[in-house]
Every structure is written in C-alpha cells, then in structure tokens.
Amino acid sequence: MKKVHLCLAHMSGNEMKYIQEAFNTNWVAPLGPNVNAFEQDLERFAGEDKKVVALASGTAAVHLAMVCLGVGKGDDVICQSFTFAATCNPAVYLGATPVLVGSEEATWNMDPNKLEDAIKDRIQKTGKKPKAIVPVYMYGMPAYIDEIMEIANRYEIPVIEDSAEAFGSKYKGKMTGTFGRFGIMSFNGNKMITTSGGGALICPDEATKKKAMFYATQAREDKPYYLHEEIGFNYRMSNVCAGIGRGQMTVVYDHIKHHQHIAQLYADAFRNIEEIKVHMAPESYMEPNYWLSTVTFEKSRSNGVYGVACEPNDQVMRSMQALSAVGIESRPLWKPMHSQPVYKDAPAYEDGTSERLFQKGLCLPSGPCVTDEDVELIVKTLKESVVL
C-alpha cells in the first residue's frame, strides 16, 4: 500500500551538487560559501531589502529574535495561542512570561481585538508594556497583519512574525515575515522547503543582522582571543545543510504552486458538501502557500470540553482512522497553547475559538509528493467517514 504523508521532504536533484562543493572545498562547518549564498537566495526571495541570517532551526530564530529585542526575566511576550509550541517556548527559555492571545475565525490567527485587550490588561496588571508580539501564520495562512501592526505600532511594541509555516505566503503582494521587526523561517524536514533541519531570521537591516550573528556565534567579542561580555548561542546553520537549502531554492516556486494546487483540489471536491469545510483564504489579498490543507467538520458535535482536557472530537478521530487504514497520514490541528498542561497557568486572552477549531479540524496531505489521484482517494475516504 502506498503511504501518503502530510508533507514529505522532496529533493530537487540539485542539492547534491552544493553538498559535494562543500566537501570538495572542505567547508564542512557552520559557516562557508553555501551559507552565504543561501542567505542571498533567501534575501532575494523575501524582498523588501531585508537581511537574513541562516540558523540551526526555526526555534533558534524565534529565540534569537527575542534575545535581540532584549527579552528577559519577568518580561511579557505576547504570543498567538493557536500554534506549535516553538512559538512561545523561547520566551520561557529567557525567563519571560508568554501571554497567550486567541484567534479569530477567518484566518485562525491572532485576533487583533483580543491582542489589544491583552496589551491593555497586561499594562494595567504589571505596570509595563509587553516586550514583543508574536503572531503566527498557521498552515501558511496570513493573519490580519495590517490590523496587528497598527496596534503594535500604536503601543510601540515590536512584532516577531512566526512565518515558519508560511514560507512564500503573501499578504497584499508582500511576503509574510517582512512586516514586523523580525520574521521567522523554518526549514525542518516537514516544512515548505528543507535543509534537513534549519531556520532563518529575517532582519530589518545589516546592523541587526550583525547583532543576530553575534548572538548566534557564542557572543564572541572582536578580539584575537575568546572574550565574552554577553551570553551567546551556537545557532548558525551548517554549510552542508545550506547546500541542501540552495538546491531547494531552485524549485521553491514549483513547491508553492503544488501546495496551492492541492488546496484548490480539496476546495473544489468539497464545495457542495456542507459537512466538510476546506480552510481557504478569507480575503482576496491573502495568498497562502497552503503548507498544509486543513478541513473542519462543520456539523460534528463539539464535545464541549475546553482547557487542558480539550481533545479532537469523535468525527476527527473517525476520519483520521479511516484515512490511516488506506495509508494516508492526517493530523488534528495544533492544540492551543493555553490548553497545554505546560502553559495552563500562562495569562490567556481567549474565547474558545481556537479550542472549537481544534476539536473539529484535521490537516490533510499537501506536500510535493501528493498526487491528484491521492487527493481523489483522500476525498472519497473522508466523505465516507462522515457521520451526520
């Protein structure tokens, strides 16, 4: 039986050339020509005159962005609650408090109204402003970033866009990750493109890039010996991994087109099925990469359980099992951070929207290895699994 995965790494065939180059020139280190060239590729891709630092992971990029903003012990960092743990864990690494903000129904991302409520309430409670705001582009879907930036600018709080899932998504024609002070890219094995493991930090200018590089290379001062005045990290990307990244960049637009094509196939297939709703861009000015296609079972019954005990409903579990039985991988949506045991005591500004979505949502295969025929089988299996 053929296995169909959510998003499997897919090599272009050009990767080996760059990896071989690294070996031939003995640049087998966390720096070198591939790292520099990959960063240039990423800067060209992001546009807007941004500078990019290639790193060991997307999580490292989130962490470094917070370090560069001076996040420390006792600070608040506002994070979207409906996300993967890597968005807010770095705040905890730094001794800060993640303040979890709920989502709106249209994009599933940070609700600008709840964001402003959170800022006001935290200022009132702690007497100081949060140090950063971290919205996320879940499954590649842009957020209402203009509205979020307007609030952030009004309160003068810098924004770190967690664009780890949204490599190549656009908002009003501009790449996500280029709106805030910092943007996050991830090249983990299951993301839009891969370096086997890796990430990058989008910086506003050369000086900020230098600062990020300084922290990413153990905060070594400019001396012939090792002098340290600050705490740093070993976060640079390997020159071998960057070779994979350069190869991936030769097919990045094909990958994005393919993900968008698969999403459109799902949308067309379920157009007249009331029960199954495909999550598509709510605004014409949002162009998601559709990293993963997602559906919600609109008539499935909520199990009415919120908070830590919140779980996917019976319909989601039934559909997952039906897909699994024919070799197809699927997965519930991210369990919101405010409903995670580890974050149950974090301040949260939530109205249950993300938990309701989590209860009734499912991620479907979308990667470069998914064929039109695979989608047909997935659609047929899903339709059969629905119990009204």
Ligand X SMILES: *Cc1c(COP(=O)(O)O)cnc(C)c1O
Cβ at position 341, least distance to ligand X in Å: 19
Q: Which is nearer to ligand X, 88 or 265 (CB)?
A: 88
The answer to whether 283 and 266 have CB atoms below 8 angstroms apart is: no
- If one asks whether residue 87 binds ligand X (CB under 6 A), the answer comes out as yes
Least separation, in Å, of the C-beta of 344 and ligand X?
20
Q: Are 86 and 134 in contact (CB under 8 A)?
A: no
Q: Which two tokens stand for residue 92?
A: 């905890």
CB neighbours of residue 49 within 10 Å = 10
Helices (H), ranges, the chain: 15-24, 33-46, 58-68, 89-93, 112-126, 145-155, 206-216, 239-249, 252-269, 314-325, 353-360, 372-385
199 binds ligand X (CB under 6 A): yes
Q: Is 52 in the site for ligand X (CB under 6 A)?
A: no
Quick one: which of 186, 208, 238, 300 contacts ligand X (CB under 6 A)?
186
DSSP 339: G
> Does residue 136 interact with ligand X by CB under 6 A?
yes
Q: Are 306 and 355 within 8 A, CB to CB?
A: yes
Q: Does 134 bind ligand X (CB under 6 A)?
A: no
Comparison of 164 and 382: residue with beta carbon closer to ligand X: 164
Give the one residue of 84, 179, 297, 349 binding ligand X; rule: CB under 6 A.
84
Residues in the chain: 388
Residue nearer to ligand X on the CB measure, 188 or 238: 188
Rounded CA gap, 137 and 110, in Å? Answer: 9
Cβ atoms within 10 Å, residue 159: 22
Task: Confirm or reject binding of residue 192 to ligand X (CB under 6 A).
Answer: no
CB 95, CB 231: distance < 8 Å: no
Work out whether the CA dihedral 2, 8, 9, 12 comes out positive or negative.
Answer: positive
* Binding flag, residue 83, ligand X (CB under 6 A): yes
Task: Verify binding: residue 59, ligand X, rule CB under 6 A.
Answer: yes
Residue 183 C-beta: closest distance to ligand X, Å: 12
CB nearer to ligand X: pick between 165 and 276: 165
- Tell me whether residue 59 or residue 353 sits nearer to ligand X (CB atom): 59
The bridge status of strand 97-101 relative to strand 76-80 is parallel
Q: 120: Cβ–Cβ under 8 A, 6 or more apart, which residues?
A: none
**Rounded least distance, CB 229 to ligand X, Å:** 28
Least distance CB 176 / ligand X (angstroms): 12
Among 116, 162, 287, 374, binds ligand X (CB under 6 A): 162
Q: Residue 138 or residue 348: which is nearer to ligand X going by CB?
A: 138
Using the minimum distance from each CB to ligand X, give the nearer residue, 169 or 300.
169
Name the residue nearer to ligand X (CB basis): 96 or 276. Answer: 96
86 part of the interface to ligand X, by CB under 6 A: yes
Taking alpha carbons only, the member of 241, 261, 266 closest to residue 368 is: 261
Output the residue with the shortest Cβ distance to ligand X: 58
**Site of interaction with ligand X (CB under 6 A):** 57-59, 83-84, 86-87, 136, 162, 164-165, 186, 188, 199
